[in-house]
Amino acid sequence: MKMSRALSIAGSAARGGAGIQADLKTFQELGVFGMTAVTAIVAENPRTGQRIFPQSIDAIEAQVHTALRDIGADTIKTGMLFTEEIITKTAEWITDAQVENIVVDPVMVGKIGSVLLEESAIEVLKSTLLPLATIITPNMPEASELLGIGPLTSIDELKKAAVKLHEMGPKYVLVKGGRLEGPATDVLFDGKTFYLLEAPRIDTIHTNGAWCTYSAAIAAELAKGSSVPEAVEFAKKFITAAIRHAFGFKQGVGPTYHAAFRKYDEIGCHVTVEKLS
Ligand code: PXL
């Protein structure tokens, strides 16, 4: 049996719903062999404030090299990279690795406000990592931040942002539009064609890890050989189910449920295709 493989270079989210933990759970759900290189450990404590423990470049590099040398990868996904130096090195490792699919989730701020990327690192992210990506998956605030513009407020603005982000060099751009009113609509753009992916809005506050999980599902489907539009359409169904069956545990914004798609139902996602005029 051929086993597809995905390596996540990202932060560890101690609560288990986001970051490396979301990636591994999602890869497992989708039948992909998951590997990790932990860039930083995030253990948020509302009483003592944010605690982020970045790992040394040596430690991150050792993880990347072990995984790629001994197992190999069909997809590399990046999440929380935190510093300029980690981004620069990650771009070098990705260039050397010659892996087929590169998913760059330009993680900046977590659902509960954790700062997951230093502000000074944004320019380096744009110049080194985005051009290497098969697909980048910003949410609306991340898209605004990358473009240095104000908040996006409509599908039309999401499309314009996708066009500008595409000029930074990735093959595909997915702007995750979950924060607009109405159905949860995302815009995928490949330089010529827009794909608008629409799913029902789920009324819940428990969406911790939703962005990571969505991008991880894309990474897994690409590893198995799907095209980018196929992978994104499947991932949209996967994340919609994960949000619908999310958990409120003891406190705060609870995690999405990574196994929901397999366990419960297939929630439809409507895709509209438009050519750039
Ligand atoms: O969901 C964004 C995210 C990414 N990576 C790590 C996180 C979070 C949010 O909490 O902790 C490590």
**Can you tell me which residue has the tokens 């439809």?**
268
Give one word for 74, left, alpha or beta, with left for phi > 0 and alpha for psi -120 to 50.
Answer: alpha
pLDDT value of position 43: 87
Q: Rounded distance, CA 58 to CA 55, Å? A: 8
C-alpha span between 81 and 79 (Å, rounded): 6
Sequence letter at residue 12: S
**Which residues does 241 contact at the CB level (< 8 Å), separation at least 6?**
257, 260, 261, 264, 265, 266, 267
pLDDT score at 234? 93
The yes-or-no verdict on residue 61 having pLDDT over 80 is yes
Cα(18)–Cα(10) distance, rounded to whole angstroms? Answer: 10
Phi and psi, residue 2, nearest 5°: -80, 130
119 vs 28, residue with greater confidence: 28
Distance, CA of 180 to CA of 183 (rounded, Å): 8
CA distance linking residue 144 with residue 10, whole number of Å: 22
Is the Cβ–Cβ distance between 67 and 42 less than 8 Å?
no
Q: Distance from the CA of 15 to the center of ligand 1, in angstroms? A: 10
Percent residues over pLDDT 90 in the chain: 67
Which residue type does 220 have? A
Angle, helix 84-97 to helix 57-70, in steps of 10 degrees: 20
User: In this structure, is the dihedral angle defined by the CA atoms of residues 202, 200, 177 and 231, taken in order, positive or negative?
Assistant: positive
Contact 64/37 with Cβ under 8 angstroms? yes
What is the value of pTM for the model shown? 0.94
Choice between 102 and 261, residue whose per-residue pLDDT is larger? 102
Pocket test residue of 8, 26, 36, 212 for ligand 1, highest count of atoms within 8 A of CB: 212
Closest CA to ligand 1's atom 11: 13
Do residues 188 and 174 lie in contact, with contact meaning Cβ atoms separated by under 8 Å? Answer: yes
Average pLDDT over residues 174-195: 92
Q: Which of 248, 155, 260, 170 is nearest to 207 (CA)?
A: 248
Ligand 1 lining (C-beta closer than 6 Å): 10-11, 13, 18-19, 42, 79-80, 107, 110-111, 114, 116, 209, 211-212
Q: Residue 100 pLDDT more than 90?
A: yes
**Which pLDDT band, with edges at 50, 70 and 90, does 230 fall under?**
very high
Express each pLDDT in 14-45 by its tens digit: 888 899 999 999 999 999 999 999 999 998 66
Cα torsion 179, 47, 20, 261: sign: negative
To 10 degrees, the CA torsion angle through 80, 83, 87, 93? -90
Pocket residue to mutate for ligand 1, from 20, 116, 176, 256, most atoms within 8 A of Cβ: 116
* pLDDT (average), residues 63-89: 97
